[in-house]
A = this chain, B = another copy of it.
Amino acid sequence: MSDADSAQVDSSQADLSQPDPRRVSDLRTPALVVDQTAFDANCAAMDAVRPGTELRPHVKAFKSTALAQRLADRAHTAFCAATPAEIEGMVAAGLHHDLLLANESLDVARLGRLDAPITVAVDSDPTLDAAIDGGVRRVLIDIDVGLPRCGCDIDTGTRLAERARAAGLEVRGVMGYEGHLMMVTDRNKRIHKVGKAMAILADAHDRIGGDIVSGGGTGTFDTNTWCTEIQAGSYTLMDTHYDGLDLPFNPALYVVATVISINAKGWVVADAGLKALGMDHGDPTWTGPGAEGEVLFCSDEHITIAPANLADHKVGDRIMLVPGHVDPTVARHQQMWVVNGLPVADAEVVDRWPINLRHW
C-alpha cells in the first residue's frame, strides 16, 4: 500500500466536523436542507389517510434513521427498505420492530444474523434459498403486477410460499409494486389502472395467505385501497417530479448553494452541480426569494442559471434548489440540515439529520 492509501483520509467525514451552524448562511455549500414546517405538514397529510402501520415508510427515500425516528414517533413503527445496508442501519438504531427488505437479494445472510424480526421479499427459488440458508425466518412473496422489474407470477409465488412454509419460514403475505402507475396524472385513470394491478395482487393473496398485502407508494397512497399497507417515503420530502399529481404533499427538501460567479453576459453560477443532485428526473428547480429565471444546465459542481434580472444577484448569495428526484439526491449527501420554514440565508438551523443509511 502506498502512503496515499495508508493515510486513509476520508473526506466523507470532513463535513461532519463543521462547527454547529446557526443559520443557513453558515452552512458549507452545497447543503441539503429540510423545511421542517413542510415536512411536518406532509407527515400530517399522510397520517390522516394512512395512520400507524397502514403506512410502512420506505427508508430508501430519505436514508436517515433520525428522520425514520420522527415517523416512528408518529406511530409508523414498521418500515421497509431497498438494501441490506438500510436494514442493518435501522437495526443498529433500534428501529427494528418490523423491518421488511422490500427487494430481492442474495446477500441476506447478513440480515439473518441480526437480532431483529426481519422479513425479506422473494420471487424465485434462488432468492428463497438465500433466505433459508441465510437464517432469515420471514418472507413476503413479491408478485409481478405490471412493472417490468422484480416479482413473480401467481403460480410461482404459490409454489414458493409452500416451499417456504415447508422449510419452517413464516410467509407473511404478498407484495407488489405498481411503480409504473405512480405518475398517471388523471386521478380516475390512476384509480382504474391501480385497481387492475392490485386485482393480481389480491388473487395472489387469496392463494398464498398471510396478513400482509403490501404495495403502493407516494403517488398512490390514497388511491390504492387494496393493500393493507402502503410503502411510501418520498411524501416526507417530496420533489418536483410529483408536481403534476393531485397530492397533498409539498416540497420540503432543498439543496442550498452559494453564487460563486456572475457573468455580465447574463448568467449566474452556483456551487451545486450534478454531484449534489439526482439528475434522472432532470434539472432542479430554482425557487425562493428572487428566483426568476431559467436553469440552463448542471455540471459536476456547478449550476448555471439565467436570471430575469442579473443585477438582483451577487457573488456570495445563497440560492435554493428543489431537486427533481429526492431519493438519489439524498443519497449524495452526508446529512440534512433542518430549518423551520424555507432555508433562506438567515433561517435558523435547528437540527442535523445524518444520512446514515447510504451505500450497500
Contact = CB atoms under 8 A, between A and B. Distances in A.
A5 B271 contact: no
Copies in the complex: 2
A151 B315 CA distance: 13
Contact of A60 (B124, B149, B301): B301
Range for the number of chain A residues in contact with chain B: 35 or more
A29 B107 CA distance: 9
Contacts of A179: 299
Interface in A80-107: 82-83, 85-86, 88-89, 92-95, 103-107
A356 B149 contact: no
A150 B260 contact: yes
A46 interface: no
Most B CB contacts (10 A, CB to CB) among A4, A104, A105, A299 go to A4
A119 interface: no
Given A280-B298, A332-B331, A333-B359, A85 B8 contact: no
A62 interface: no
A14 interface: yes
Given A106-B315, A328-B300, A356-B10, A4 B65 contact: yes
Contact of A280 (B127, B274, B333): B274
A35 interface: no
B328 A275 contact: yes
8 contacts: A5-B65, A8-B356, A106-B316, A149-B304, A274-B278, A275-B331, A279-B279, A279-B280
B260 A83 contact: no
Interface string A287-314: 0000000001111111010000000001
A10 B354 contact: yes
Contacts of A48: none
Interface string A1-45: 011110111111011000000000000111000000000000000
Contacts of A151: 261, 263
Contacts of A86: 11
Interface of A: 2-5, 7-12, 14-15, 28-30, 60, 65-66, 68-70, 72-73, 82-83, 85-86, 88-89, 92-95, 103-107, 123-124, 126-127, 144, 148-153, 179, 258, 260-265, 267, 269, 271, 274-276, 278-280, 296-302, 304, 314-316, 327-328, 331-334, 353-354, 356-360
Given A4-B94, A260-B127, A299-B179, A9 B356 contact: yes
Most B CB contacts (10 A, CB to CB) among A2, A179, A314, A331 go to A2
A125 to B, nearest CB: 8
A53 B123 CA distance: 55
A167 B60 CA distance: 50
Contact of A65 (B9, B297, B354): B9
B359 A263 contact: no
Given A9-B93, A260-B105, A275-B331, A14 B149 contact: no
A116 to B, nearest CB: 13
A28 B2 CA distance: 25
A69 B3 contact: yes
